[in-house]
Structure 1
Amino acid sequence: MVGKFVVDLDKPLVSQVGHLGEAYDEWVHQPIVSKEGPRFFANDILETLTRTRWWVIPLVWLPVVCWLVFVSMQRSLTPAEAATTLVSGIFTWSLLEYSLHRFLFHMKTQSYWGNTFHYLLHGCHHKHPMDALRLVFPPAATAILCVPIWTVVRLLSAPSVAPAFFGGLLLGYVMYDTTHYYLHHGQPSTGVPKNLKRYHLNHHFRVQEKGFGITSSLWDHVFGTYSSPKVVC
């Protein structure tokens, strides 16, 4: 029980979490470690749309990345220039990844619709961190978010550069989502993967207001949100 409203975990959650009001932030950051995810909606179609297997992400988006790089090369970029532009997009994504996680995914909400939106966006992941089917972003939702990002890239970049740079952003996203899935469900034993898993689990179970980097802790170091992990995994 949190505050005056009790969330019934045996009923669809999305229509309930908004009623938590000020107590939502405390409730959503008390994780339930179970591989079986909760039900979001009573409607079966809506419920199905919230579930995505991890391999769908590279299957859908990697061909798009290749096509975008091809378009840039058709518009006069050399292979070396296209590769450099792609890498620039990946690096820019790493900053976008950090910024979205820190300022959007961890925003504080209290209103009914604010709590509901946050739960659908990221709160559900903190409440049920091992829910494998709600760990990556559904492609339809990603496509919607791509529209304003592509618009900005197209306005700020040369016609030959914009597709490859956007392709780099998209490839960075694919790396982020698949890495994120692996950090929760993979079992790395040594090296960088093990350190990344420890760092991310530290964010979930120890210091949730720090450690926003997923694919690296670079921007956490730059902006002072690095948290030394102590979780043993």
Structure 2
Amino acid sequence: FIPVIAFLIWKAFADAQMSFLGFAGWLIIGLFIWTITEYIMHRYIFHFYPSSKIGKRIHFIFHGVHHDYPNDAKRLVMPPSASIPMALALYFFFLFILPAGTIFAFYAGFLIGYLFYDMVHYALHHANFKNSFWKKLKQHHMLHHYSDSTKGYGVSSAIWDKVLGSDFIKKVNDRPDTAE
């Protein structure tokens, strides 16, 4: 997706003749829209459980296998055979609804968000973080896998889980009585 992002950035300036400020604004909007798209797709598409046999098979291939084998490095990012058609469908959807000339900057931001999500998702499963932000995000995602898969749909951010009520409830741990 990096060559596509570079092409979109070039198109934003060369063809759409966007100002730098306009470009930055639409890029940020694209990044923001990615965050809610990530949440919606994970919650309502990847965690939709079909009843038909073929539906169950498709679900398993796209996301179920990741929950069955969460640390399998080959099953952490969506394969190009799925991500490219999905990216094209979303591109044409956004092209239809966005103001003329904004798609290039917007979609560059959207795809940057997607790449960030993929890299973060891989790191959450395989990196040992020292930074408290990343440690908390990793804990959030691991709770989704190992505690309650009906919560914690945000991968690259837990913001939408907090806003939309799918965050994990923090329990107050009673300290054991240490008096002798």
Give TM-score, length-normalised by structure 1.
0.70
Which of structure 1's runs of 4+ aligned residues deviate more than 4 A?
none
Q: Which runs of 5+ in 1 are unaligned?
A: 1-60
CA distance in 1, matches of 2:92, 2:51: 32
1:223 equivalent to 2:161? Answer no
Aligned to 1:95: 36
CA shift digits 1:99-151 (9 cap, x unpaired): 00000111122321011011011000000001101111112321111222111
Distance, in Å, in 1 between the alignment partners of 2:82 and 2:50 is 21
CA distance in 1 between partners of 2:6 and 2:22 (Å):
15
Q: Distance in 2 between matches of 1:80 and 1:160?
A: 14
User: What CA deviation, in whole Å up to 9, does each residue of 1:66-119 have, x standing for no partner?
Assistant: 210210111120122112211110110000000000001111223210110110
Per-residue deviation, 1:229: 6.6
Give the corresponding residue for 1:72: 12
Query: Which residue is 1:62 aligned to?
Result: 2
Aligned mates of 1:107, 1:85 — CA distance in 2: 31
Q: Report the residue type matching 1:196 in the other structure.
A: L
Counterpart of 2:115 in structure 1 is 174
Task: Say yes or no: does 1:210 pair with 2:148.
Answer: no
Give 2:176's aligned residue.
none
Contact 1:202/1:229, CA 8 A, preserved across alignment: no
TM-score (norm 2): 0.90
**Aligned-partner Cα distance in 1 for 2:147–2:164:** 19
Whether the 8 Å contact between 2:26 and 2:106 is mirrored in structure 1 is yes
Report the residue type matching 1:119 in the other structure.
F
Q: What is the identity, as a one-letter code, of the residue corresponding to 1:192?
A: F
- Distance in 2 (CA, whole Å) between partners of 1:119 and 1:140 is 15
Q: CA RMSD in A?
A: 1.4
Contact 1:199 1:228 in 2 (8 A): no
Matches within 5 A, 1:153-164: 153-164=94-105
May I ask how many residue pairs the two structures share in their alignment?
170
- C-alpha displacement at 1:157, in angstroms? 1.9
Structure number having the greater helix percentage: 2
- 2:104 pairs with 1:132: no
Structure 2 residue aligned with 1:44 = none
Q: Contact 1:199 / 1:229 at 8 angstroms: preserved in 2?
A: no
Q: Does 2:102 match 1:152?
A: no
